Structure 1
Amino acid sequence: MKDPFLTIVVPVYQVEKYLERCVDSILNQNYQDYEIILVDDGSTDRSPEICDEYAEKFEQIQVVHKKNGGMSEARNTGTTLAKGKYVYFIDSDDWLDSSCFEQVIPLVEDGNYDLVCFGRQFVKSEDEALRQVAEPEIRSVTGYDAYLEMMDQGWVTGFVTDKIYKVSLFRENNIEFPIGRYYEDLGVLYRILLNSNQVLLTNQVFYHYFLDNPNSITASWNQKKVQDMLEFYKDAHHSEIVLDNLQESDQHIADVYYVNGLIHVLSSIYKSGYEKEYEYIVEDILNEIKKHPLTYKDMAKQPNKMKYLLYRLSLLKFAFKIQNILRASR
């Protein structure tokens, strides 16, 4: 039996409510040259049993049961076992449009790209339809230009799950998801992009990113989450591989992305009311922002532009304090 073209890795942890929706969205694809690796990361609900039931019904599905080690370790396990030339990671509370692989895989096969990036949409229920692109477009860019596209909030997002990767990108460049860290997507994407030769981009939207999972890591904050996110933003801006590749003419784009990330982390601290507990982190963030002075116009494309304006007006902390008071009074 020949190896599949695509390996789909599904980390599974405490998702008995959502797992079937996710796996069914893969099985319902018209494209079928794939294997599915369900990595049960020590779930204590019915997720392990659901995984085994799928494996008994479908020969292209295999299950790995392991002790809990986190999302990164689960993804790394799947990548190690992958038989496909390409690998795709999907979060088990999310799901795909039924036409995703049928539309995307032929593009990858024709061009032998290192990775392909497509669109995702945040949704709160299965009733929300994906937005339709009036004029679908496809672009071929270098890995470096794809990195800049991510920095500039273009067609390349900071998420792992709206991309399909050549497995050799991970194996030949010793890239692994960082074990024991939150926001692992931030920790690998810039490395993947800067190690890529050719990247295919499409503005078509195929991925449903589910927002209403109460167990999501973004549902609450703690010191480690804050520190991990901050360190990954720093790495994406001035780690060794970035400094070796970033052209001087593109430094401003990287600075803007970095400041947007810093504002996001700072806002998350203020929103959670942890500014006193994390005082030294707040001080570090504020010092980093001051090192990269920007105008509001510079931040026009960034999702945190209004928060940056509040920061410049010295109102960001106050705004979240008022928001927290109003929330508590409800």
Structure 2
Amino acid sequence: MSEELVSIVVPIYNMGNTLERCVNSLLYQSYSNIEILLIDDGSTDNSLEICNELKKKDSRILVYHTENRGSGPARNTGIEKANGRYIYFPDADDKLEKDSISILVSAMKKGSFDMVVFGYKSIDVKGNIYLEKQYPNMIKKGEEVRKDYSDYVLSTRKYGIQGAPWNKFFDLNIVKKYSIKYPELRRHQDEGFISSYVCHTKEIRFINDVLYSHYLNDLKKEWDKYPVDYVDAVIGLYKIRQETILAWNNEDKKTREIVEHEYICNIIKALELSYSPKMKFNRKERLKWIKKQIEKSQILKVVMPLSLGRYQKILFILLKKQYIFVAMLIMYIKIAIEKNGFLEFFRKFQ
């Protein structure tokens, strides 16, 4: 019996330093019937050159170049070009264990499964294991998962499904049949894709194998990775969740509270970004911008979840009472302490 073709889609943007590590981990898979679609998303470094050199070495590699639109549209290009029975989405700076694809195909074919979820390791910048996530061996009906999604909606939960796609294995037939795509958001596009996919799952299989190594970014630089229009991504994800996760079961109050908790926290994060050097705001401009984002997000119409942390709760209450300048001061102090220590607090508040 011939092996099913597996399409592996890798979005790439300025990953010249780590790309070969990722691709080599795919080429050396014990399961050989794969196609590797490298989607260069308008890189400005030597990523495209490396992709083309790798292509010369192995006929299973296909290279596509697009203008820079983000990893979501890049993955959508991969979906359009993919010819496999199954599809997998690793990141270009991570790596996969040698037998992973073989294990995943076997797991998918042992029943009527349309998604396999597996474990991973998070590696910090010093090469240490920061986190190891392992799932119990388990089978769940899609209908059961959608009825109460509270144990699945956060990647930190025991059975967390939402989050990155690199620890999930998907059925490409389902993706194409229902035209499931990554939304064109600059962040959280993975979350949108997964919730849209789960709408159509009949059975999900969890396996306890730890197959993926995810390399963390320098936490000091993580703040700079957020785009200036991050608030639009947060609003976009919330709308998708209203149409998917929150529409599955109106009585699922726990999941609604988790989703609204995360929405408030992400909007606050977006407001904090007004202090990013990318924004170049003075105090008056920042105040005007924050007021506009509060109105656009309709965040103050969300019922405050009891689970909110102290910092978010204080800010939410201040914003509700229109004490925006006080909220700005608190955000400034928090950011200054995180990035520069207590001395920054004594600098001039702009």
Task: Name the TM-score, length of structure 2 as normaliser.
Answer: 0.77
Matched, 1:206 2:211: yes
Shift of 1:173: 0.8
- Give the Cα separation in 1 of the matches to 2:111 and 2:100: 17
- Give the Cα separation in 2 of the matches to 1:293 and 1:131: 30
Q: CA RMSD in A?
A: 3.2
Count of paired positions = 316
- Residue 278 of structure 1 corresponds to which residue in structure 2? 290
Tell me which structure has the larger Cα radius of gyration: 2
Q: SS of the counterpart of 2:251?
A: helix
Shift of 1:118: 1.8
Structure 2 unaligned spans of 5+: 277-285, 319-325, 345-350
Report if the CA contact (8 A) 1:143-1:198 is conserved: yes
Shift of 1:319: 4.8
Report if the CA contact (8 A) 2:135-2:206 is conserved: no
- Residue 114 of structure 1 corresponds to which residue in structure 2? 114
Structure 1 unaligned spans of 5+: 300-304
The farther-off stretch of 311-320 and 89-98 is 311-320
Shift of 1:107: 0.7
Task: State the Cα deviation string for residues 157-186 of structure 1 (Å, max 9, x = none).
Answer: 322222111012221112122236443112
- Give the Cα separation in 1 of the matches to 2:300 and 2:317: 14
- Give the Cα separation in 1 of the matches to 2:105 and 2:236: 34
The correspondence for 2:172, drawn from 154, 167, 170, is 167
- Residue 282 of structure 2 corresponds to which residue in structure 1? none
Cα distance change on mapping 1:219 and 1:103 into 2, 3 Å: farther
Q: SS of the counterpart of 2:110?
A: helix
- Residue 36 of structure 1 corresponds to which residue in structure 2? 36
- Residue 254 of structure 1 corresponds to which residue in structure 2? 256
- Give the Cα separation in 1 of the matches to 2:120 and 2:74: 22
- Residue 96 of structure 2 corresponds to which residue in structure 1? 96
Report if the CA contact (8 A) 2:140-2:203 is conserved: yes
- Give the Cα separation in 1 of the matches to 2:226 and 2:70: 17
Shift of 1:232: 0.9
- Residue 83 of structure 1 corresponds to which residue in structure 2? 83
- Give the Cα separation in 1 of the matches to 2:252 and 2:114: 23
- Residue 14 of structure 1 corresponds to which residue in structure 2? 14
- Give the Cα separation in 2 of the matches to 1:21 and 1:56: 17
Report if the CA contact (8 A) 2:122-2:131 is conserved: no
Task: Give 1:280's aligned amino acid.
Answer: K
- Give the Cα separation in 2 of the matches to 1:325 and 1:73: 35
Shift of 1:318: 5.3
The farther-off stretch of 123-132 and 99-108 is 123-132
- Give the Cα separation in 2 of the matches to 1:242 and 1:218: 28
**What does residue range 123-202 of structure 1 map to in structure 2 within 5 Å?**
123-125=123-125, 127-129=127-129, 137-147=136-146, 148=149, 149-151=151-153, 153=157, 154-179=159-184, 181-202=186-207
- Give the Cα separation in 2 of the matches to 1:212 and 1:85: 32
- Residue 45 of structure 2 corresponds to which residue in structure 1? 45
- Give the Cα separation in 2 of the matches to 1:226 and 1:41: 22
- Give the Cα separation in 2 of the matches to 1:324 and 1:69: 29
- Residue 305 of structure 2 corresponds to which residue in structure 1? 294
- Give the Cα separation in 2 of the matches to 1:68 and 1:136: 35
Cα distance change on mapping 1:308 and 1:97 into 2, 3 Å: farther
Task: State the Cα deviation string for residues 174-221 of structure 1 (Å, max 9, x = none).
Answer: 21222364431122221110111111123543333333279x986333
- Give the Cα separation in 1 of the matches to 2:172 and 2:53: 28
Shift of 1:17: 0.6
The correspondence for 2:333, drawn from 297, 311, 322, is 322
Cα distance change on mapping 1:280 and 1:132 into 2, 3 Å: closer
